[in-house]
Structure 1
Amino acid sequence: MATAVAANAPMTKEEKKVIFASSLGTVFEWYDFYLYGTLAVIIGNQFFSALDPASRTIFSLLAFAAGFIVRPFGAIVFGRLGDMIGRKYTFLVTILIMGLSTFIVGVLPSYSSIGVAAPIILIGLRMLQGLALGGEYGGAATYVAEHAPHGKRGAYTSWIQTTATVGLFLSLVVILGVRTSIGEKEFADWGWRIPFLVSIFLLAISVWIRLSMNESPAFKKMKEEGKTSKAPLTESFGQWKNLKIVILALVGLTAGQAVVWYTGQFYALFFLTGALKVDGALANMLIAASLIIGTPFFIVFGSLSDKIGRKPIIMAGCLIAALTYFPLFKALTAAANPDLAKAQATNRVVVTADPKECSFQFNPTGTAKFTSSCDIAKQVLSGRSVSYETVDAPGVAKISIGETIIESYASTGLPADEAKKKDAEFKKVVGDALKAAGYPEKADPAKVDKVKIVLILSLLVIYVTMVYGPIAAMLVELFPTRIRYTSMSLPYHIGNGWFGGLLPATALAIVAQTGNMYNGLWYPIIIAGITFVIGMLFVKETKDVDIYARD
């Protein structure tokens, strides 16, 4: 009876303050973290200018991924502190680290000013951001869940779940505002620094708000009773009864949730601007519009999980995403760049080559030298974001564009001047043939179906809200209070930091190797499928768990 009353009672003023303060600080932290991802190409030009354009983009994505790689370590460090000294002070420290690291990126000299020190410092700052975020999310989710009445944890924690998307949206809005006010040239030169510098004001607001917050009641009760963990890492990962839940939370929940999140929001943006060649500012506006439409569904699915359970919603999101990604991204191509879609349908591009001549096409360091006729043919097509198929056959590689056949060449042993001349001639011949076959250099703004694109992107965001809206409550409910911060943070950040954060670079590597711009989708599809199977078989429902009873 008491539980039913708590679940139906309106939100108190104190509960509203807890949610608002936790969410606002976390929004700012995600804003800081995602500024880099939104500006990856421009930052690549500033800090990796010694590399060729394709390698700059890949390297800037790897620097972006560096922040994700260290997130689990932040989860361990700050999760331990949060379980030993409290939730409030731990995520006060994390936001200070995040805010200061972001501000320093805004004043960091570029490669042209200080050479190789610039990318090294940049990657170091990204790693500090990752450590901070590793401690932030678990603290905020645990803090809100431990304030929420039984029967409303899904609804209350879903506000925390909106913060990653709202932070991404905020970064897009600030970037678009600066971009349009000063112009593209100035923005690419120095204006990109402004969104990073603005973060210092957001940091000040966040710290002020968080200093006024009280410790979570569940942690206070446990501390007063002397039941806090003396060794949360040992209890979380050294005891099989807890470790097996950590592993199941990772493979059966967060891995699939992560790839759906990053496909629906980040990979969709990279796909629009990279593969479909949509103008960057327009792509950002279309993504921002879809975020406005989709974000309320975090609350919808979080609240619904209080009624029907967390597991069915998360599993359904993984399954539907895995089944529909290919048709949705093909529909996105038709809407964003119909000329490209038509050219792909009527004039297929095929590379006929000896497989012994073909190397792995992913070149993140920019140091690999592609000299065989197969590699040169594939590199030229990849450089123009053209999808192609490969047919095995002996002899010099050939590119077929519809009915046109172009013979490639090998640059092995050629003098530098002659190799450069050959490269320019070959690129021109291929470029002319692609143009004649209807392959556009860029998406025609007049033919971009903005309404259809926003509908498709909004559907991808709704998938995100299905898997992400209920997951904070579920992770909190899986673990006892004394080791909750540590135990839930690690699987969350391995899932989102490694499986999710590495998605753009991994998908790009798959596309580079196979030549098909849709093949990068196999990565999220397979991971989401694995999570669906394991989650359905082994993960238990948690919505009715009494988290206060689990100390």
Structure 2
Amino acid sequence: MPTSEGEAPQREERQSAKLVILASSLGTIFEWYDFYLYGLLATVITIQFFSGVNETTGFIFALAAFAAGFAVRPFGALFFGRIGDLVGRKNTFLVTMGIMGLSTFLVGLLPSYASIGVAAPILLVLLRLLQGLALGGEYGGAATYVAEHAPDGRRGLYTSFIQTTATLGLFAALLVVIGVRLALGEEAFAAWGWRIPFLISILLLGISMWIRMQLAESPVFRKMKEEGSGSKAPLTEAFGRWSNLKIVILALVGAVAGQAVVWYTGQFYALFFLEKTLRMDGATANILVAIALAIATPAFILFGWLSDRIGRKPIILAGCLLAALTYFPLFESLSRYANPALHAAQREAPVTVAADPEDCSVQFDPIGRNRFDGKSCDIAKSFLAKSGISYRNVTAPAGAVAHVSIGETIISSIDPDGLSGPARTEAIAEFQSRAKAALAAAGYPEKADPAQVDEVMVVLILIILLLYVTMVYGPIAALLVELFPTRIRYTSMSLPYHIGNGWFGGFLPTTAFAMVAATGDIYYGLWYPVVVAALTLVIGLFFLPETYRRPIEG
């Protein structure tokens, strides 16, 4: 059958578009795979690299490794964003992918503390820093590259495939880790098998690099270079001129901050809440979240496509609005269906903590190594918060030792002054034992009973939370790309994205937990994403421009 005159070029264009999306998405999936491995294997890595150092040094190293994953991402955005605007999108994200892949591979080869001493954690932190910097440069490059290839009216759809990569990268990391664990057994995995997921990343790196090297530079960037209209100082132009800087700030507070907290609440805090607060079995919680993710992930593409027709703003801000209005009832329902015995006990046998407010610390612990055992109030609240128990605060006289009331039972905490070492540990364990017995007597379950979990309802609630994620995240790449001119686009869009997702989002679980520990309300931590999402809604509604009909060149 003969082809029409324009059919062959159109087919070639479609094939080219598919290659652009595939290559950019595959590389970004690979980078997220690398990034998530550290989190999934954090317990094993801590044993291998931090267990031999003293407590203070171990705390510093663990904090540095954590900060490398989230805090340094904006600096990677600045460094690689500048290069991307000066020399090109393609070569820059090839470099970031190479750094990420090699850093991950080297973690798999790194000798443990038992082999080379303190050099092991130092090298690990350095590799994590490189990973964080590389991730800071990757997303902006991939999103910009895809958007600059997309025809007008389809940028939301094209870039939405990039938005699925974080979820798919998490899936890939989970599958590899679970597969290696099952194949080797826990003992072999803990001894040396944990290295395999890191080592096979070199194969993924090779495949991703080869595919991406088939690509040409983005046509929009090429045209800019041919016209000689590129920026000679992207950082200065993006952040040193108020006309551009105000758009960066507006992008952060009027779009990305809300997107970030909704994304982290739906994908990470919900899992944290199921496991740590509702005491659901970890494997079950992971499976239910995975099912919800598999069902909800196509909605990233749906909302990206829809944003090409009705605009980016309405979808992103609607996601923020729905999240702000429904988080509290949704998480309360999650409690009712995931652990009905705990939900009933909290209503029928309320818990209170009577303590001197001066005796209570803010329990902000981003790396999970602070024990909060220096004061009687901290000992009581830390135990209850980590057990997922809601409690009400009551002010006690100054200097009084804190005590916990569970229904009609009153249990005194311990005064740690004068106790140290094994004596303090034993006293804390004895208090926790008495508190556990009283909680059990009052009907508080130690763990969620699998027979009582309504898995269908839990998955349904998780799907709703994840649909909010797809609403705010699906169109965000297209919005950010369209907000900024070509000459400073990579630099300008990367910084607000990584401040929002690295800082506003990355610190959400620990910030929420600190709020729960301070107030005793297991739902109180939700005020953090609710307030940020509401702030983004208001600022975005009145000040954020709509961009979906903007030309991308210029």
* TM-score, length of structure 1 as denominator length: 0.92
Who is 2:3 aligned against?
Answer: none
Who is 1:273 aligned against?
Answer: 275
Who is 1:239 aligned against?
Answer: 241
Contact persistence 2:485–2:552 (CA under 8 A): yes
Q: How does 1:422-501 map to 2 (within 5 A)?
A: 422-501=427-506
Q: How does 1:93-132 map to 2 (within 5 A)?
A: 93-132=95-134
Q: How does 1:51-450 map to 2 (within 5 A)?
A: 63-362=65-364, 366=369, 370-394=373-397, 395-414=400-419, 416=421, 418-450=423-455
Q: Say if 1:519 and 1:124 are closer, same or farther in 2 by CA, change over 3 A.
A: farther
Structure 1 unaligned residues grouped into runs of 5+: none
Name the SS for the 1:12 alignment partner.
Answer: helix
Name the SS for the 1:212 alignment partner.
Answer: coil
What's the CA shift string for 1:137-191, capped at 9, x where partnerless? 1111111111111111111111111111111122222223233333445444543
The CA distance in 2 between the partners of 1:373 and 1:18, in whole Å, is 59
* 253-262 or 171-180, larger mean C-alpha shift: 171-180
Contact persistence 2:277–2:386 (CA under 8 A): no
Q: Say if 1:229 and 1:407 are closer, same or farther in 2 by CA, change over 3 A.
A: same
The CA distance in 2 between the partners of 1:507 and 1:51, in whole Å, is 29
> Match of 1:229, as an amino acid?
S
The CA distance in 2 between the partners of 1:371 and 1:136, in whole Å, is 43
What's the CA shift string for 1:238-273, capped at 9, x where partnerless? 111111111101110111111111111112222222
Q: Say if 1:450 and 1:79 are closer, same or farther in 2 by CA, change over 3 A.
A: same
The CA distance in 1 between the partners of 2:264 and 2:353, in whole Å, is 31
What's the CA shift string for 1:8-60, capped at 9, x where partnerless? x886111111111111111111111122233344444444446999x999986
Contact persistence 2:337–2:453 (CA under 8 A): yes
The CA distance in 2 between the partners of 1:461 and 1:359, in whole Å, is 33
Name the SS for the 2:200 alignment partner.
Answer: helix
Give 1:111 shift. Answer: 4.3
Give 1:533 shift. Answer: 0.6
The CA distance in 2 between the partners of 1:82 and 1:352, in whole Å, is 57
Q: Say if 1:62 and 1:40 are closer, same or farther in 2 by CA, change over 3 A.
A: farther
* 66-75 or 267-276, larger mean C-alpha shift: 267-276
Percent of matched pairs sharing the same residue: 66
The CA distance in 2 between the partners of 1:401 and 1:92, in whole Å, is 58
Name the SS for the 2:280 alignment partner.
Answer: coil
What's the CA shift string for 1:307-363, capped at 9, x where partnerless? 100000000001111111122122222222222222222222111122232233345
Q: Say if 1:372 and 1:234 are closer, same or farther in 2 by CA, change over 3 A.
A: closer
Q: Say if 1:90 and 1:155 are closer, same or farther in 2 by CA, change over 3 A.
A: same
Q: Say if 1:413 and 1:540 are closer, same or farther in 2 by CA, change over 3 A.
A: same
Who is 2:535 aligned against?
Answer: 530
What's the CA shift string for 1:344-402, capped at 9, x where partnerless? 22222111122232233345685676344323322332443433221112233221111
Q: Say if 1:418 and 1:143 are closer, same or farther in 2 by CA, change over 3 A.
A: closer
The CA distance in 1 between the partners of 2:551 and 2:155, in whole Å, is 11
Give 1:441 shift. Answer: 2.2
Give 1:107 shift. Answer: 2.9
Contact persistence 1:21–1:209 (CA under 8 A): yes
The CA distance in 1 between the partners of 2:372 and 2:347, in whole Å, is 32
Structure 2 unaligned residues grouped into runs of 5+: 1-5
Name the SS for the 1:541 alignment partner.
Answer: coil
What's the CA shift string for 1:506-541, capped at 9, x where partnerless? 223222333333222221111111111100010010
> Match of 1:488, as an amino acid?
M
The CA distance in 1 between the partners of 2:65 and 2:516, in whole Å, is 19
The CA distance in 1 between the partners of 2:198 and 2:458, in whole Å, is 29
Q: Say if 1:441 and 1:241 are closer, same or farther in 2 by CA, change over 3 A.
A: same
The CA distance in 2 between the partners of 1:525 and 1:61, in whole Å, is 27
Give 1:410 shift. Answer: 0.9
Give 1:125 shift. Answer: 2.0
Contact persistence 1:58–1:364 (CA under 8 A): no
Give 1:112 shift. Answer: 4.8
Contact persistence 1:32–1:102 (CA under 8 A): yes
Name the SS for the 2:75 alignment partner.
Answer: helix
Q: Say if 1:484 and 1:42 are closer, same or farther in 2 by CA, change over 3 A.
A: same
Name the SS for the 2:436 alignment partner.
Answer: helix
Name the SS for the 2:410 alignment partner.
Answer: strand
* 118-127 or 310-319, larger mean C-alpha shift: 118-127
* 274-283 or 124-133, larger mean C-alpha shift: 274-283
Contact persistence 1:322–1:525 (CA under 8 A): yes
RMSD: 2.6
Contact persistence 2:364–2:510 (CA under 8 A): no
Contact persistence 1:176–1:281 (CA under 8 A): no
Contact persistence 1:65–1:501 (CA under 8 A): no
Contact persistence 1:260–1:524 (CA under 8 A): yes
Give 1:110 shift. Answer: 3.9
* 365-374 or 234-243, larger mean C-alpha shift: 365-374
Give 1:205 shift. Answer: 0.6
* 58-67 or 352-361, larger mean C-alpha shift: 58-67
The CA distance in 1 between the partners of 2:61 and 2:95, in whole Å, is 30
Who is 2:33 aligned against?
Answer: 31
Contact persistence 2:362–2:514 (CA under 8 A): no
Q: Say if 1:33 and 1:92 are closer, same or farther in 2 by CA, change over 3 A.
A: same
Contact persistence 2:276–2:387 (CA under 8 A): no
* TM-score, length of structure 2 as denominator length: 0.91
Contact persistence 2:392–2:520 (CA under 8 A): yes
